[in-house]
């Protein structure tokens, strides 16, 4: 019989946590025992896995005995607090937070791009930022072919990126605004219903936000290109769960839209949706619930004459490939 693994999910009740449970189930991950961990508020409640009720336990330092993989999605502070306990227990921590991503001793992994890095772990493997994962899955195959030099990205990020409370806020505010009620922003700095907010994570001295700098630093680390130039504007939009990105890419060599389509047609984790005559292009409603990143609106950058620029639009499910699916795929590398 093939080996089965004991898996813990810290933050099991959160927006990403519940997708982790479902992804393990849907992909038939060889689970022996599944341990669901959250705060004391959730202890004693149950969540379903493969049709069975599993009682949620309070996350403590003793939660990881006999665990093989500990998937964390309960925020950076919780990851930092429990990392030592996970590593000492002998489990591999797959951490969805930003706590360890830029740590030189921690691999930052998107299996379609740099699976080999995962095997250099010393107990912790980091799951990258959601917008970064979605971007590198589509961009790395082009980088491999024509060497990417510069990337300018604008994101259209769903409320799921702020967790269950972000999605709930969009739903509540939409109802309240349509019925003329007063609204009170909580999860976001401003109203998100019928609005967009060019502010995700905290502002830095250079005018960028931390989210924008994550896309720069993490994409360099994942794609192993320390000199890549990246500039981003990250925007929260009133979309429930899939992130979209407008990408302007400059390559070392000339590249045509036809070449881009041919490369992405066979790229793992990418689905080409690029038939403008039929009004087919990536949209968050179509990307929601999918494992693949949708790529389309592929065209030559008309602002340059050297044929080295490409524009493209992508959409990907933030909770799946941007978080839960990527984490489960990392665990699958060891199965």
Binding test (CB under 6 A) with ligand A2P, winner from 24, 38, 133, 264? 38
Strands (E), 165-277: 229-236, 242-251, 270-272
CA distances from 334 to 5, 121, 224, 290, 330 (A): 10, 12, 22, 23, 8
Q: How far is the CB of 153 from ligand A2P (least distance, A)?
A: 24
Mention every residue, 6+ apart, whose C-beta is less than 8 A from residue 68: 5, 6, 7, 91, 92
CA distances from 309 to 56, 281, 282, 288, 312 (A): 50, 20, 20, 29, 10
Residue nearest to ligand A2P (CB): 14
| Residue tagged active-site, from 190, 232, 243, 302 | 243
Stretch that binds ligand A2P, among 12-20, 132-140, 188-196, 222-230 (CB under 6 A): 12-20
Q: Scan residues 66-85 and list those touching ligand A2P (CB under 6 A).
A: 74, 78
Mention every residue, 6+ apart, whose C-beta is less than 8 A from residue 37: 8, 9, 10, 11, 12, 56, 57, 58, 59, 63
Is 86 a binding residue for ligand A2P by CB under 6 A? The answer is no
If the CB atoms of residues 49 and 208 are measured against ligand A2P, the closer one turns out to be 49
If the CB atoms of residues 141 and 161 are measured against ligand A2P, the closer one turns out to be 161
Binding test (CB under 6 A) with ligand A2P, winner from 59, 92, 142, 158? 59
Stretch that binds ligand A2P, among 10-18, 134-142, 196-204, 264-272 (CB under 6 A): 10-18
Strands (E), 82-211: 92-95, 124-126, 148-157
Stretch that binds ligand A2P, among 35-43, 98-106, 169-177, 193-201 (CB under 6 A): 35-43
Stretch that binds ligand A2P, among 13-21, 106-114, 279-287, 309-317 (CB under 6 A): 13-21
d(CA 242, CA 133): 12
Stretch that binds ligand A2P, among 125-133, 157-165, 248-256, 321-329 (CB under 6 A): 157-165
Asked whether the beta carbons of 128 and 296 are under 8 A apart, the reply is no
Is 42 a binding residue for ligand A2P by CB under 6 A? The answer is yes
What character string, x for contact with ligand A2P (CB under 6 A) and - otherwise, covers 161-200?
--xxx-----------------------------------
Strand partners, 299: 311
**DSSP annotation string for 281-327:** ---HHHHTT-SSEEEEEEEE-TT-SSS-EEEEEEEEETTIIIIIHHH
Is 17 a binding residue for ligand A2P by CB under 6 A? The answer is yes
Dihedrals φ, ψ of 311, to 5°? -110, 145
The residue count for binding ligand A2P (CB under 6 A) is 16
Beta-carbon count within 10 A of 171 CB: 12
- For the question of residue 243 being annotated catalytic, the response is yes
- For the question of residue 232 being annotated catalytic, the response is no
Q: How far is the CB of 41 from ligand A2P (least distance, A)?
A: 4
Annotated catalytic sites, by residue? 130, 243
Binding stretches for ligand A2P (CB under 6 A): 11-15, 17, 38-39, 41-42, 59, 74, 78, 163-165
């Amino acid at each position: 019989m093939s080996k089965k693994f004991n898996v813990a999910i810290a933050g099991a009740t959160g927006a990403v946590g519940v997708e982790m449970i479902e992804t393990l189930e849907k992909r038939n991950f060889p689970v022996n025992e599944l341990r669901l961990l959250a705060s004391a508020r959730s202890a004693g409640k149950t969540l379903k896995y493969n049709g069975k009720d599993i009682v949620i336990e309070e996350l403590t330092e003793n939660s990881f005995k006999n665990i093989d993989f500990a998937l964390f999605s309960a925020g950076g502070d919780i990851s930092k607090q429990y990392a030592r306990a996970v590593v000492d227990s002998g489990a591999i921590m797959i951490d969805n937070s930003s706590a360890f991503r830029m740590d030189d001793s921690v691999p930052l992994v998107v299996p379609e791009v740099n699976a080999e890095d995962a095997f250099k772990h010393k107990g912790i493997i980091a799951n990258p930022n959601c917008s970064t994962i979605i971007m590198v899955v589509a961009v790395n195959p082009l980088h491999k072919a024509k060497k990417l030099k510069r990337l300018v990205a604008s994101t259209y990020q769903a409320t799921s990126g702020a967790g269950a409370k972000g999605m709930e806020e969009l739903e509540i505010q939409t109802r309240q605004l349509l019925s003329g009620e007063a609204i009170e922003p909580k999860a976001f700095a401003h109203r998100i219903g019928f609005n967009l907010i060019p502010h995700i994570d905290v502002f830095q001295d250079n005018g960028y936000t931390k989210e924008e700098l994550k896309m720069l630093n993490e994409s360099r680390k994942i794609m192993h290109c320390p000199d890549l130039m990246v500039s981003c504007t990250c925007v929260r939009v009133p979309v429930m769960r899939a992130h979209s990105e407008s990408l302007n890419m400059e390559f070392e060599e000339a590249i045509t839209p036809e070449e881009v389509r041919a490369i992405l047609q066979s790229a793992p984790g990418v689905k080409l949706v690029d038939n403008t005559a039929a009004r087919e292009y990536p949209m968050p409603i179509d990307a929601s619930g999918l494992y693949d990143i949708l790529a389309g609106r592929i065209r030559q950058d008309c602002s340059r004459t050297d044929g080295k620029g490409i524009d493209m639009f992508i959409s990907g499910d933030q909770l799946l490939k941007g978080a839960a699916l990527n984490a489960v795929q990392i665990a699958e590398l060891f199965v």
